């Protein structure tokens, strides 16, 4: 028992040195129950870093199988995983990376009907989706449950990210009030979802441990072509059909 505690101290040594993090922050991570919704490019980076950081419980949700055309960016899946369900492929790597983390592989689609069950008992959700439609379903459920939802999306060398904390700032519908566009196949340079997935995890770890200033009410825009970051201030819409009726 003591030996395993020593090993945990060693494993998390560097992050516990971060200002404000400490042993208390590590204990909070260990108690946290986090979902990664989609194990593609964003979800690969997000699930690897969440696991490495030592969150207590991680639920991976995806219904796809690994395809060859995924491998330029979905780094948790390898050439030996083709045709395998993505959640299984990821869970295998993640438990090897950090056996302290309980990883649950849920091979299901997120729909209006399934979302409540899929996010049951979860403290925080990280976005790894590829359509705005599904993200809106997750957004609604997170607002209803009042749990944080960290949004990210990529296109080519561009990325977008914001942290939604119901009450504290706008929700995804406040940011994108228009009708969702039809899903399409988009270009993606491999590292773009890696950058954005890492930004998601950074804010997730901050929210879970209580350090720093998360991107609430700010849309972070990454431009890999010019190598720059910008932010757009976003306000909560008092008439938002999703979060507008939330009472303090």
**According to the binding rule CB under 5 A, does residue 175 interact with Zn ion?**
no
- Under rule CB under 5 A, residue 135 binds Zn ion: no
Which residue lies nearer to Zn ion by CB, 201 or 242? Answer: 242
Q: How far is 244 from 169, CA to CA, in rounded Å?
A: 11
240 interacts with Zn ion by CB under 5 A = yes
> For 221, phi and psi rounded to 5 degrees?
-115, 120
Query: Considering beta carbons, is residue 147 or 242 the nearer one to Zn ion?
Result: 242
Dihedral sign of CA atoms 222, 66, 77, 205 in order = positive
Residue 243 sits in the site that holds Zn ion (CB under 5 A):
yes
Q: How far is the CB of 185 from Zn ion (least distance, A)?
A: 29
Name which of 172 and 208 has its Cβ closer to Zn ion. 172
The residue number with the shortest CB distance to Zn ion is 240
- Which of 52, 9, 25 is CA-nearest to residue 198? 52
Shortest CB 136 distance to Zn ion, Å: 10
**Does residue 79 contact residue 69 with C-beta atoms inside 8 Å?**
no
With a CB cutoff of 8 Å and minimum separation 6, the contacts of 182 are none
173 binds Zn ion (CB under 5 A): yes
| Contact residues for Zn ion, defined by CB under 5 A | 171, 173-174, 240, 242-243
């Amino acid at each position: 028992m003591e030996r395993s505690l020593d090993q945990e101290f060693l494993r998390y040594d560097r992050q516990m040195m971060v200002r404000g993090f400490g042993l208390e922050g590590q204990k909070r991570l260990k108690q946290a129950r986090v979902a990664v919704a989609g194990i593609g490019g964003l979800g690969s980076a997000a699930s690897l870093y969440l696991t490495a950081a030592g969150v207590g419980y991680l639920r991976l949700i995806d219904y796809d199988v690994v395809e060859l055309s995924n491998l330029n960016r979905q780094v948790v899946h390898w050439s030996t995983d083709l045709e395998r369900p993505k959640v299984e492929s990821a869970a295998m790597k993640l438990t090897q990376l950090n056996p302290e983390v309980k990883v649950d592989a849920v091979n299901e689609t997120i729909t209006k009907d399934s979302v409540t069950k899929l996010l049951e008992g979860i403290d925080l959700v990280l976005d790894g989706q590829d359509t705005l439609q599904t993200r809106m379903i997750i957004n609604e459920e997170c607002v209803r449950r009042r749990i944080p939802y960290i949004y990210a999306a990529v296109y080519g060398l561009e990325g977008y990210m914001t942290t939604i904390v119901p009450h504290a700032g706008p929700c995804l519908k406040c940011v994108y009030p228009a009708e969702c566009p039809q899903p399409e196949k988009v270009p993606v340079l491999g590292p773009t979802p890696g950058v954005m997935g890492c930004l998601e995890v950074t804010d997730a770890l901050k929210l879970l441990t209580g350090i720093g200033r998360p991107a609430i009410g700010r849309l972070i825009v990454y431009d890999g072509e010019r190598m720059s970051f910008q932010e757009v201030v976003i306000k909560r819409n008092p008439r938002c059909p999703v979060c507008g009726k939330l009472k303090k």
